[in-house]
Amino acid sequence: MSLGLTNIATINQAQTLSPQVQLTIKLLSLNNIELESYLEKKIEDNPLLIDRQNTKEHELRIQKYSDKYSRNSSNLDLLNNIGYAKSLREHLLDQLLISSMSNKEKIIATYLINILDEAGYLTENDETICLKLGVNNDAYEEVLVSLQSFEPTGVFSRTLSECLYLQLSEKNLINDELLELLKNIELIAEDNFRELSARLNIGKDDLFRLINIIRKCNPKPGLNYSRDTLEIIAPDIIIEKNLSGVYAIKLVQNYFSNITVDQTYNDVILESKKKKDEFITNHYRDAKMLISSIAQRQRTLLKIAHEVMLQQRDFLENGINHMHPLNLDKISKITNLHISTVSRSIQNKYIETPRGTFEMKYFFDKGTYGEEQNNQISSKTIENRIKELIKNETSSNILSDDKIVNLLKKYDINIARRTVAKYRTKLNILPSSKRKNRFL
């Protein structure tokens, strides 16, 4: 059955999409983990749907999948972590439960725990908190001091300086110089080391020694417990290179490839059709539709991923400096799929390659036309070249934007100074006049 994915967006708005097409659109927007969760619910709701693997085999397969990605330094297994990892709030409430605070203090503490941001900071001002709780500042501060002794060290801070101070104090590292440095923490972010040296009245070597101590602290201690850090980065698609140098692509099928209609119900289904039993016939129709939509989803993903692999082969071979500009429209035309279908298909999907695991949309990169060029250059390539040049500059050769323009020409990148400035700003890199401070 043709689902007409190519022309989905051009269907007259007055015309209602068929249930089959609506389902396929929905499945295309899900990554493998989301799809597996969705299908587990469908199996529970539809007695005609089964997983061909028995429970024991399924558990073994999940464990094998888990083991594979736990060995990858950037991958975590959602199935093993989400169920057991505590949130920052849960971790703090556990400590509150066994603390020696009074019941009244615990009420204040619970409120403070609940208003922490994900990094572990108190973002409401002290006066507002006291007014909301109906307590005086002394009672509030007493509870706050107790909470600031909880793990992870640095939570319940109101400023970055306070967060760093708590961590340094715990390690018995606080001295007058570090205290002064914490008061001027914004100058570190600006790389304004000359001003820092003057304010602390110390030399460059001593200053960098102090800065290195501070940089060993965690500026966002609460993020270690963020649910976002537990998000699995597992591929939906795998690109591999064989010994002959040929790239091959495959889908990570997961257990949903084993979903089928339970054949033991064949007689019941036939009988239900004769008797027009809507309960069974509707479940049968939904099951067949679901299986068909899964297959269509897989074909569409494979088609798009294969073309992405061909378009970005140079990147796979040689890295980011060989990324090509690529947009949805180009893939849409090559694959004969509507641009909305391509867009939906790449959302929240990951591709594992010999160069690492990337979001699928990473490979779609806008290009920039050079001043004297007809061909576009990938924005990621330009950004990386600029980062490399600035990373390797020395105290005697700080690169102005004009110098960067000239150096980029060696890589056949001919862009204007204002374009360099635009990329540098996007990369959060200071102008050359301020970068000099790094070497003072």
Task: For residues 64 and 84, give the distance between their C-alpha atoms in angstroms, rounded to a whole number.
Answer: 19
36 and 143: one domain? no
In a domain, 209, yes or no: yes
Task: Name 347's Cβ contacts closer than 8 Å, sequence gap at least 6.
Answer: 29, 360, 361
Residue 117: domain span = 88-224
Task: Name 79's Cβ contacts closer than 8 Å, sequence gap at least 6.
Answer: 62, 66
In a domain, 78, yes or no: no
Q: Which of 204, 224, 244 lies at the terminal end of a domain, its last residue?
A: 224
302 and 277: one domain? yes
Give the CA count within 13 Å in the CB-facing half-sphere of 426.
13
The pLDDT tens digits of the residues spanning 319-374 come to 999 999 999 999 999 999 999 999 999 998 999 999 888 999 999 988 776 555 55
Bridge partners, residue 240, by sequence: 248
175 and 268: one domain? no
Q: At what angle do helices 126-133 and 137-147 cross, to 10 degrees?
A: 110
User: First vs last Cα of the chain: how many Å apart?
Assistant: 70
On whether the CB atoms of residues 316 and 340 are closer than 8 A, the answer is no
95 and 218: one domain? yes
Radius of gyration of the chain (CA): 29
In a domain, 80, yes or no: no
User: Rounded to the nearest 5°, which phi and psi values hold at 249?
Assistant: -125, 140
Mean pLDDT of the chain: 81
Q: What is the mean pLDDT of residues 42-66?
A: 59
The pLDDT-based confidence of 39 (bands split at 50, 70, 90) is confident
Q: Nearest CA to 27 among 37, 16, 17?
A: 37
On whether the CB atoms of residues 321 and 271 are closer than 8 A, the answer is no
On whether the CB atoms of residues 112 and 144 are closer than 8 A, the answer is yes
Q: Which of 362, 390, 408 lies at the terminal end of a domain, its last residue?
A: 362
338 and 281: one domain? yes
Confidence (pTM): 0.59
Q: pLDDT value at position 131?
A: 92
Task: For residues 177 and 345, give the distance between their C-alpha atoms in angstroms, rounded to a whole number.
Answer: 54
Length of the chain: 440
pLDDT at 399 over 50: yes
Count of domains observed in the chain: 3
In a domain, 412, yes or no: yes
Task: For residues 420 and 408, give the distance between their C-alpha atoms in angstroms, rounded to a whole number.
Answer: 10
Q: Which of 362, 380, 405 lies at the terminal end of a domain, its last residue?
A: 362
The pLDDT tens digits of the residues spanning 257-308 come to 778 877 666 655 666 565 555 667 788 888 889 999 999 999 999 999 999 9
Q: pLDDT value at position 240?
A: 93
Give the CATH number of the domain where residue 410 resides: 1.10.10
Taking the alpha carbons of 122, 125, 127, 133 in that order, is the dihedral positive or negative? negative
The pLDDT-based confidence of 437 (bands split at 50, 70, 90) is low
The pLDDT-based confidence of 194 (bands split at 50, 70, 90) is confident
Q: pLDDT value at position 160?
A: 92
pLDDT at 76 over 50: no
173 and 52: one domain? no
The two structure tokens encoding residue 76: 């975590």
Q: What is the mean pLDDT of residues 205-210?
A: 88
In a domain, 83, yes or no: no
Q: pLDDT value at position 273?
A: 60
292 and 183: one domain? no
391 and 290: one domain? no
257 and 322: one domain? yes
pLDDT at 132 over 80: yes
389 and 343: one domain? no
- The larger pLDDT score, comparing residue 310 to residue 21, is at 310
In a domain, 79, yes or no: no
In a domain, 131, yes or no: yes
The pLDDT tens digits of the residues spanning 212-263 come to 898 889 999 998 876 554 455 678 999 999 888 899 999 987 666 778 877 6
In a domain, 351, yes or no: yes
Q: pLDDT value at position 205?
A: 85
389 and 407: one domain? yes
Q: Nearest CA to 82 among 223, 254, 221, 231?
A: 231
Q: pLDDT value at position 237?
A: 94
The two structure tokens encoding residue 277: 């039993």
On whether the CB atoms of residues 181 and 200 are closer than 8 A, the answer is yes
Q: Nearest CA to 63 among 48, 77, 50, 49?
A: 77
Task: Name 6's Cβ contacts closer than 8 Å, sequence gap at least 6.
Answer: 336, 337, 338, 341
389 and 415: one domain? yes
